Amino acid sequence: MAYFVVLVSAFLVLSAATALRPGRRGLSAILAYPVGWAAGELPVQGIVSQVALLGLLAWWGWPSVAWLELLIDVLAVVSVAQNLMLVFIAFYSRRIVRRAMASSPVAPLKISRARDDEFGAWWRTAMQFPFHPRDMQLVKNVVYGPLPRQRLDVWRMSTTPLHAPVVLYVHGGSWIMGDKREQGRPMLHEFVRRGWIAVVPNYRLAPRHPWPAQIQDVTRALGWVKKNIATYGGDPERVVVSGGSAGGHLAALVALSSKDATWRPGDLADVVDWSVRGALAFYGVLETTGDEAHWRGLGRGIRILLERRIVQVPYEGNEPFYRAMSPFDRIGADAPPFFVVQGRNDTLVDVQVARDFVTKFREVAHAPIYYVELPFTQHAFDISASPRTSATTRAAVAFAESVVQRPRLTSSLVKSYQVPPTELVVKVSTGEWVGAREAARELGPFTVLTSDNPFSNALSAEENAQRRGELHADLRRRGVRVRHAIGRDPMGAWPVEEGFALLDQSIEFARDLARAWDQFAIYDVSEDHVLVRSVDTGEVLR
């Protein structure tokens, strides 16, 4: 019995060590995910197991050999200490998540505390099993296409209000396995309890169905949501898409390709709007060329997987095809807001993939992106209902609620917009405020936008000042040359709005930026004219 206790205790020690510092080469790399995940997400169970082993040994009879007794004591102490460290890390993740969301350079968010969870009670977190709410209504295997895997589940509560926001969750599994019943459950249960509708589709899997079958099915599922979710009480105009691992890749890709008709099914031609309000990618495969600058040693593995099992064509000679499926290569100025979560100890998707995606997004896109990087955290950590998962769930909810609460720049909303009579002045290099056309004689043609009063909803002076500060910081970070500008209604019927004249930037750049800041219009200024252009169409409003 003593030798059995030694072997199991040694395994617990090595498992916890793998969770804290996973290997990346040889056998240790192969075992890093399955062993490290279990130890990292179940440290309390590890402590209980170690104590139970000692109790069993005490009942059986403590060994009389001194060195064996010492070895058992040392292994037990190390095992318990390691697992206590993992427990501390799981709870400390709450602070890391709060700081990450609050320190976002654009539109920082404050997230709630554990006591504010609607479903993630402390005892559920302690058990770590993702039980669903007993009063949750589950509509299973709704057909969204003609093929066997094109089925989805709809989750909602009996009390879910009409026109509820929708989260479309895509499961992971390396594009070759997985099922809609298995992943993302702790987070989705919280969303559903908070009045959201969750839609969880299956999709065709490789290698039987090579790429792009997977993204075609997810795109079709999004089209089904846009066309049919109102029947279940959902709002097709307020949809966010989410997923983990390969599901994070598919969610990010469908969010970044809303204007690309390549993967859209022909029988959903009546769906006009394929955009989503935001995307949530958990440990997602956000780059698919296997570039080692992003993957840091794991790129060869992802490329082999894609070449042999998923895409089934070689990378060489088909580089554009691989880049087309890479979210990193699809980031554009008009990308929707993103929420990205990545574990630093992830041995399947290197943390640098997420870091580089976030860096490029902040350089290119105008929408905010929120990045949470979790130390000592392995791939697929959120399968269990741990304190770490509850923390990232609260952040995900805060992000999703922030993006669906913002109004959309729809054609009907634009038609309701009234262009007020305005006077526009710009601060020139001498420090003087001059008329816009006079400023253009010194500065050259420019555009002017403001972040004040989004969609003509008047905010307080403090709120507008905060938004202007965030916009100005974003412009400085992008290296955009600006001058301060003020637009005012000479009749005094609308509050004075401060903004920025953008020098050496195109009208398209200004429109994309204004759209991200919830504005109807921008100024197009030259020596000859001051025009008000629609952010939606670019047409002159007056």
User: How far is the C-alpha of 402 from the C-alpha of 421, rounded, in Å?
Assistant: 32
Distance from the Cα of residue 277 to its chain's centroid: 11
Active site residue 350: no
Q: Determine which one of 245, 326, 390, 402 is catalytic.
A: 245
Handedness of CA 396, 397, 402, 404 (dihedral sign): positive
Q: Say how far apart CA 401 and CA 403 lie, in whole Å.
A: 6
Fill in the DSSP letter of residue 237: E
Distance set, CA 522 to CA 459, 470, 517 (Å) = 19, 18, 11
In 3D space, the residue among 439, 419, 437 whose CA is nearest the CA of residue 489 turns out to be 419
Q: In 3-state terms, what secondary structure has residue 22? A: coil
Q: Which amino acid is at 404?
A: V
How distant is the alpha carbon of residue 286 from its chain centre? 11
Answer yes or no: are the C-beta atoms of 240 and 403 closer than 8 Å: yes
Determine contact, residues 481/413, Cβ cutoff 8 Å: no
Angle between helices 43-60 and 66-102 (to 10 degrees): 160
- Tell me the β-bridge partners of 468: none
User: Using an 8 Å Cβ cutoff, are 353 and 285 in contact?
Assistant: yes
Cβ atoms within 10 Å, residue 271: 16
Contacts of 466 (CB under 8 A, 6+ apart): none
117, 334, 346, 452: which is the annotated catalytic residue? 346
Q: Which residues of 393-415 are buried (b: 16+ CB within 10 A; e: fewer)?
A: bbbbbbbbbbbbeeeebeeeebe
Is 329 annotated in the active site? no
Q: For residues 256 and 342, what is the distance between their CA atoms, to the nearest angstrom?
A: 19
- Tell me the CB-side half-sphere exposure of residue 40, using CA atoms within 13 A: 30
Smallest CA-to-CA distance from 432 within 443, 422, 421 is with: 443
Of these residues, 379, 382, 534, 536, which one is catalytic? Answer: 379
Q: At what angle do helices 2-20 and 66-102 cross, to 10 degrees?
A: 20
Based on the residue annotation, tell me whether 524 is a catalytic residue of this protein.
no
Active site residues: 245, 346, 379
